[in-house]
């Protein structure tokens, strides 16, 4: 395969330069973002003067996620983008920790998918030219549209089986495992109606669903050139089992992410058993791993803490978002030049609990 140059997610070469550019956009007094203009006054700061580096984002504190659940999506867009609503798409999170958060999207995922394609080609060695089957949420969720675009850009078409993550989480919360089982049978029947009649080369779904489907897939002789996981925790043991026992001739990869940040990319597997390590797409998205009890303190490499995400784009500014996950801060991946997070799993101390369900 011919090597292609790595696309730049943004034109800035330096994270501090990019922070200043994003802050100048969102805090502009006349055509900035309503939420951030108001927030600046609440905090009593001059953001365009006071925030001149990535480290200075701490001035803003933790991002108040509740705002994305209750306010208009237009409050979080610069006026220059929000003015043309016909170009916007509203997307929602799955609501793992309660009500879903909402964002409006214009061009955010274009550079993300360009970079992901480069990474899948040059770092992961993921196959091109095949048809995909995606089992996961569509509707207001970003992942289905992103998967369709990814499949098409890699030379294939994508089949879909819709999944309602909120309904499944409700069943788990109520302990209604009988209905959960019925729903899983329903998903499996739809999957095999496609797999038994169509040429499917790449399977995309959640770790929990593939764990359920893997024995049947193996028994019925289904193999894939590529598999992509996302949506719920991928454990080290399951990752090893899928790569060695069920699909040894498949290129495996995974995405850690959500509607707000897009996706972080799975590192290539190392010696067995491999850690499950994800790397963000800097400088559009950055990861920090912080002390849950003192979130302004970053933990050392190899230590465990709460995942903190910052989204830095011309249309979306979400600094210091404390995720519902914990992980180890991981070493720099030479192919990218920045650090990642390893073995992501739900934060044990999450207030009110977090129900993952099957997505």
In sequence order, which residues have a C-beta less than 8 Å from that of residue 171 and are 6 or more positions away?
177, 179, 180, 183, 357
pLDDT tens-digit map of 315-347 = 999 999 999 999 999 999 999 999 999 999 998
d(CA 119, CA 87): 28
What is the predicted pLDDT for the residue at 243?
93
Percentage, residues of the chain above pLDDT 90: 75
pLDDT band at 354 (very low <50, low <70, confident <90, very high): low
Phi-psi region of 143 (alpha: psi -120 to 50; beta: other; left: phi over 0): alpha
d(CA 231, CA 169): 13
Q: What is the mean pLDDT of residues 9-28?
A: 90
pLDDT band at 109 (very low <50, low <70, confident <90, very high): confident
Architecture of 109-346 per CATH?
3-Layer(aba) Sandwich (3.40)
Q: What is the mean pLDDT of residues 48-70?
A: 96
Q: What is the mean pLDDT of residues 267-271?
A: 76
d(CA 278, CA 287): 10
Domain boundaries along the sequence of the chain: 15-91, 109-346
287 preceded by a cis bond (ω within 30 of 0): no
What is the predicted pLDDT for the residue at 50?
98
d(CA 242, CA 248): 7
């Amino acid at each position: 395969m011919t090597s292609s140059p790595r696309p730049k997610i943004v034109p800035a070469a330096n994270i501090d330069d990019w922070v200043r550019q994003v802050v100048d956009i969102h805090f502009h007094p006349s055509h900035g973002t309503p939420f951030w203009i108001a927030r600046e006054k609440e905090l009593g700061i001059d953001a365009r003067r006071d925030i001149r580096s990535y480290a200075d984002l701490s001035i803003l504190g933790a991002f108040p996620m509740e705002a994305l659940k209750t306010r208009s999506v237009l409050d979080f867009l610069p006026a220059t983008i929000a003015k043309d609503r016909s170009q916007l798409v509203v997307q929602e999170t799955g609501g793992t920790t309660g009500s879903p958060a909402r964002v409006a999207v214009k061009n955010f995922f274009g550079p993300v998918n360009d970079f992901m394609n480069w990474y899948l080609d040059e770092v992961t060695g993921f196959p091109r030219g095949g048809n995909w089957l995606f089992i996961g949420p569509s509707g207001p969720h970003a992942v289905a549209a992103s998967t369709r675009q990814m499949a098409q850009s890699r030379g294939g078409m994508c089949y879909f089986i819709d999944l309602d993550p909120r309904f499944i989480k409700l069943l788990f919360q109520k302990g209604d495992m009988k209905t959960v089982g019925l729903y899983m049978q329903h998903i499996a029947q739809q999957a095999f109606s496609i797999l038994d009649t169509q040429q499917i080369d790449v399977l995309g779904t959640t770790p929990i669903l593939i764990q359920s489907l893997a024995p049947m897939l193996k028994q019925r002789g289904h193999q894939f050139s590529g598999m992509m996981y996302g949506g719920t925790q991928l454990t080290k043991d399951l990752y090893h089992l899928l790569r060695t026992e069920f699909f040894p001739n498949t290129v495996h990869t995974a995405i850690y992410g959500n509607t707000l940040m897009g996706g972080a990319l799975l590192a290539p597997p190392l010696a067995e058993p491999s850690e499950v390590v994800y790397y963000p797409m800097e400088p559009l998205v950055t990861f920090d791993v912080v002390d849950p009890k003192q979130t302004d303190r970053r933990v050392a490499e190899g230590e465990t803490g709460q995942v903190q995400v910052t989204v830095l784009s011309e249309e979306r500014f979400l600094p210091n978002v404390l995720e519902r996950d914990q992980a180890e801060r991981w070493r720099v991946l030479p192919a990218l030049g920045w650090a990642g997070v390893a073995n992501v799993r739900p934060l044990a101390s999450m207030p009110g609990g977090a129900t993952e369900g099957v997505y």
